[in-house]
Amino acid sequence: MKKVGLISLGCPKNQVDSEIMLGHLTKAGFALTNNENEAEIAIVNTCGFINDAKEESIERIIEAGKLKENGNCKVLIVAGCLSERYKKELIKELPEVDAFVGVSDIEKIVDVCKELIGNVGAGLKPAPTTTASPQRILINPKHYAYVKIAEGCDNRCSYCTIPSIRGNYKSRDMRAIIREVEQLISEDVKEINIVAQDTINYGMDIYKERRLVELLKELVKIKNLSWLRLLYTYPEHFDAKLIDIIASEEKLCKGFRISC
């Protein structure tokens, strides 16, 4: 059984991606380890949003690369935003990395690991993606979890690189979100943190109208859910219905982060 160590950097959206990858790997029979000296496969899930984050990601990749020289590590994989945005440049600058997996390809992590552990440095064949959500491996304290309700962003703010990294806004199906929250609550999670680059815009792409309020009304019905928190909200999109449910619903936390 091959041991995998994963370093997760960046925002809660990136953390969800890390937890999904760990879920896929565990289901496929890989063992997880927090000991970097035990890991045969090292994965660095990177952030590429601002310069400080990019520098931290590069530093951690270089540190992980040293494990291939001096430790048990045989394979180094770089995932996440930095891979999505700068893959061509990184291939030239970081020859110690065996594979780059962008945010749009995290579902392929098992295929990447299986191929590389048997043939380090081999070219990767495309693997089919799946819409199924595996059971995640939470990497934070078990009383709370992040749930991503959408990917990407359509706001196109001049200072923000999210659309160029994660693409246009893509809402998840409401039923899938509710099922995921129910599953997490059944595992004794008490607080759910709803995340998207703009949570208020949820539903515009697939339902042709904003349905965050409708989603919140369904989520607060879930038994044993104690708190529900919104990360992140876009100021321009607040309306009376959203303000009313935040004010009136006891399970909804009154503090939330603004995306601006």
Q: In whole angstroms, give the CA distance from residue 258 to residue 249.
A: 20
Question: What does the angle CA 182 – CA 45 – CA 7 come to, to the nearest 5 degrees?
Answer: 90
Q: Contact 96/68 with Cβ under 8 angstroms?
A: yes
Residues 89 and 195 in one domain: no
**75 lies in the same domain as 111:** yes
The CATH number covering residue 47 comes to: 3.40.50.12160
Residues 149 and 73 in one domain: no
101 and 149 part of one domain: no
Domain boundary among 100, 118, 136: 118
134-179 pLDDT per residue, tens? 578 999 999 999 999 999 988 888 777 787 788 899 999 999 999 9
Give the residue from 102, 118, 134 where a domain finishes.
Answer: 118
- Whether residue 9 is found in the same domain as residue 113: yes
Say if residues 15 and 46 touch (Cβ distance below 8 Å). Answer: no
Residue 253, domain member (yes or no): no
Q: Which domain holds residue 71?
A: 3-118
Same domain, 111 and 55: yes
Residues 103 and 203 in one domain: no
Q: Please indicate, yes or no, whether residues 84 and 178 belong to a single structural domain of this protein.
A: no
CATH of the domain at 228: 3.30.750.210
* 136 found inside a domain: no
Question: Quick one: average pLDDT of 63-85?
Answer: 90
* Long-range Cβ contacts of 85-94 (<8 Å, 24+ apart): 85/48, 85/161, 85/164, 85/165, 86/48, 94/61, 94/62, 94/65
Asked whether the beta carbons of 202 and 149 are under 8 A apart, the reply is: yes
Task: Identify whether residues 182 and 111 lie together within a single domain.
Answer: no
Going by C-beta distance under 8 Å and a sequence separation of 6 or more, which residues neighbour residue 29?
A: 1
Question: Total structural domains in the chain?
Answer: 2
For residue 236, is it within any domain? yes
Both 7 and 104 in one domain: the answer is yes
Which domain-ending residue is among 118, 153, 178? Answer: 118
Q: Answer yes or no: is 55 within a domain.
A: yes
> In the prediction, which pLDDT does 174 show?
97
In a domain, 33, yes or no: yes
| 195 in the same domain as 106 | no
Q: What is the pLDDT of residue 193?
A: 96
The verdict on residue 240 lying in a domain is: yes
Q: Do the domain assignments include residue 25?
A: yes
The reply to whether 231 and 149 lie within a common domain is yes
User: What would the pLDDT profile of 202-222 be if each residue is shown by its tens digit?
Assistant: 999 999 999 999 999 999 999
Which DSSP letter does residue 159 get?
T
Q: What is the pLDDT of residues 14-47, one digit of tens each?
A: 999 999 999 999 999 999 999 988 999 999 999 9
Q: 133 pLDDT exceeds 60?
A: no
User: Is residue 42 situated within a structural domain?
Assistant: yes
What is the model's pTM?
0.87
